[in-house]
């Protein structure tokens, strides 16, 4: 049994994907070829936003957001401590200060109550300029955007949705990638919508942001590619990956249905054994991971392994526990829920082709 079976997916889509790749080999436009722009149009349509701008990977997508929003040294950007490193890394890379926030005990996502407490504390301290919030759609479930958008408006903060794991999820019909001022996703192979290498995208309804993103991702170019009007980066999705994603996106609604059907079965079978994941009313998860909470994690993982069932832990180490952020002087007492989750969560196999 595979934890994520990309080979099974490829075999299902083989003829379509192979044709798409050969089309690229035939026309030879390997960088910013026509499939890239076709994909951007279809991504924007699927998510329900005006603009989708692809880039080299999900971390670059976050970095591009920092550039567009002019995040800089002296700024505070709030983000969950229970997340993958890239969320906080992009903040630090911009020279800003990540201010970590505890988790909601049921959904594992950023806790709005703790967020507002951290904002008030940072405001009262007066050392940092309040700039933005990054919310993560952890394990496929969108964060509590109705409440997060209220808080962002109250404190005049920009809201960034990190939908790297959440692509396909929704709240009352509004899809992940369309919340806040700007949103990102990753096409890392293990993500709900993944390519066969690295890739990412940024989503926004803001025309000015979209224009800046298209410039920043290609060395800050202007209308002439040899006239660079700002300092940018080199972060383009290659054409072959775009071609692969076009076929995967077409199949994605069926895969999302399979993921939710599997999660429902997991919940039914495991609810009396483990603390199973919560999906609030009106929410749909894309189930990037199916994550349980167990008081005896190591013992449970051993039992599954002995039955031939692979397991993984996301995440052993919170952001406030990372060596790179030790100078911020946080402790586990500052984030009791997230610190507890990092000791107890583990994930079971989750992919659309699991029998």
Q: Is the domain of 202 the same as that of 271? A: no
Q: Is the domain of 239 the same as that of 279? A: no
Q: What's the whole-model pTM score?
A: 0.96
- Say how far apart CA 310 and CA 329 lie, in whole Å: 35
100 in any annotated domain: yes
Which of 248, 278, 298 is a domain's end point? Answer: 248
Task: Please provide residue 201's backbone torsions phi and psi, each rounded to the nearest 5 degrees.
Answer: -155, 155
Q: Is the domain of 111 the same as that of 29? A: yes
Task: Please provide residue 236's backbone torsions phi and psi, each rounded to the nearest 5 degrees.
Answer: -115, 140
Domain extent at residue 292 = 252-348
Which of 187, 214, 248 is a domain's end point? Answer: 248
The neighbouring-strand residues paired with 134 are 160
Q: What is the pLDDT of residue 225?
A: 75
Q: Is the domain of 127 the same as that of 197? A: yes
Q: What is the pLDDT of residue 7?
A: 96
Q: Where are the alpha helices (DSSP H) in the chain?
A: 6-27, 34-47, 58-68, 85-93, 112-125, 145-154, 207-216, 239-270, 297-306, 336-344
Which of 248, 279, 305 is a domain's end point? Answer: 248
- Say how far apart CA 106 and CA 112 lie, in whole Å: 13
- Say how far apart CA 332 and CA 340 lie, in whole Å: 9
Which DSSP symbol is given to 166? T
Q: What is the pLDDT of residues 297-317, one digit of tens each?
A: 999 999 999 999 999 999 999
Q: Is residue 59 a contact partner of residue 89, using CB atoms and an 8 Å limit? A: yes
The region, left, alpha or beta by phi > 0 then psi within -120 to 50, assigned to residue 329 is: left
Contacts of 7 (CB under 8 A, 6+ apart): none
- Say how far apart CA 150 and CA 157 lie, in whole Å: 10
The neighbouring-strand residues paired with 183 are 161, 203
Along the chain (355 residues), what's the average pLDDT of each consecutive run of 10 residues?
Answer: 95 98 98 97 98 98 98 98 98 98 97 98 98 98 98 98 98 98 98 98 98 97 88 97 98 98 96 92 98 96 97 97 97 98 98 93
CATH number at residue 284: 3.90.1150.10
Q: Is the domain of 85 the same as that of 230? A: yes
Q: Is the domain of 239 the same as that of 260? A: no
Q: Is the domain of 195 the same as that of 260? A: no
Q: Is residue 201 a contact partner of residue 43, using CB atoms and an 8 Å limit? A: yes
Tokens of 290: 């199916």
CATH number at residue 194: 3.40.640.10
Q: Is the domain of 240 the same as that of 175? A: yes
Nearest to 242 by CA among 200, 212, 182: 200
Q: What is the pLDDT of residue 337?
A: 98
163 in any annotated domain: yes
Q: Is the domain of 243 the same as that of 263? A: no
> To 10 degrees, the CA torsion angle through 285, 63, 92, 131?
-80
Q: What is the pLDDT of residue 115?
A: 98
Burial readout 205-215 (b: 16 or more C-beta within 10 A, e: otherwise): eeeebbebbbb
Distance linking the first and last C-alpha atoms of the chain: 10
- 3-state secondary structure (DSSP) of residue 201: strand
Task: Please provide residue 80's backbone torsions phi and psi, each rounded to the nearest 5 degrees.
Answer: -70, 150
If one counts every other C-beta atom within 10 angstroms of the C-beta of residue 86, the result is 23
354 in any annotated domain: no
Q: What is the pLDDT of residues 208-253, one digit of tens each?
A: 999 999 999 999 999 887 889 999 999 999 999 999 999 999 999 9
Q: Is the domain of 111 the same as that of 25? A: yes
Nearest to 165 by CA among 176, 174, 181: 176
- Say how far apart CA 177 and CA 168 lie, in whole Å: 9
Q: Is the domain of 272 the same as that of 237? A: no
- Say how far apart CA 221 and CA 216 lie, in whole Å: 7
- 3-state secondary structure (DSSP) of residue 123: helix
Q: Is the domain of 205 the same as that of 296? A: no
């Amino acid at each position: 049994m595979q934890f994520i079976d990309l080979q099974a997916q490829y075999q299902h889509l083989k003829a379509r994907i192979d044709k798409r790749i050969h089309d690229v080999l035939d026309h030879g436009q390997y960088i910013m070829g026509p499939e890239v722009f076709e994909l951007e149009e279809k991504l924007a349509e699927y998510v329900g936003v005006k603009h989708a701008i692809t880039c080299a990977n999900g971390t670059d997508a976050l970095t591009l957001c920092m550039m567009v929003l002019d995040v800089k040294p002296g700024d505070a950007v709030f983000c969950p401590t229970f997340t993958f490193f890239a969320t906080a890394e992009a903040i630090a890379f911009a020279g800003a200060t990540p201010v970590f926030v505890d988790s909601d005990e049921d959904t594992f996502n950023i806790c709005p109550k703790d967020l507002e407490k951290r904002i008030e504390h940072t405001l009262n301290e007066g050392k940092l300029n309040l700039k933005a919030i990054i919310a993560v759609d952890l394990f496929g479930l969108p964060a509590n955007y109705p409440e997060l958008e209220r808080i962002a408006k109250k404190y005049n903060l920009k809201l960034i949705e990190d939908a790297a794991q959440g692509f396909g999820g929704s709240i009352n019909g509004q899809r992940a990638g369309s919340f806040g001022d700007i949103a990102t996703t990753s096409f890392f192979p293990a993500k709900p919508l993944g390519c066969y290498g690295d890739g990412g995208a940024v989503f926004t309804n803001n025309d000015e942001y979209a224009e800046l993103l298209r410039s920043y991702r290609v060395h800050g170019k202007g209308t002439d590619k040899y006239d660079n009007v700002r300092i940018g980066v080199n972060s383009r999705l290659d054409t072959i990956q775009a071609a692969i994603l076009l076929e995967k996106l077409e199949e994605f609604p069926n895969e999302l249905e399979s993921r939710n059907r599997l999660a429902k079965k997991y919940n039914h079978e495991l609810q009396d054994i483990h603390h199973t994941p919560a999906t609030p009313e009106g929410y749909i998860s894309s189930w990037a991971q199916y994550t349980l909470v167990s008081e005896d994690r190591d013992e449970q993982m051993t039992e599954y392994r002995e039955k031939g069932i692979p397991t993984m832990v996301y995440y052993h180490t919170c952001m406030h526990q990372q060596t790179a952020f030790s100078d911020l002087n946080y402790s586990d007492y500052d984030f009791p829920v997230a610190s507890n989750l990092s000791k107890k969560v583990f994930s079971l196999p989750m992919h659309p082709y699991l029998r």
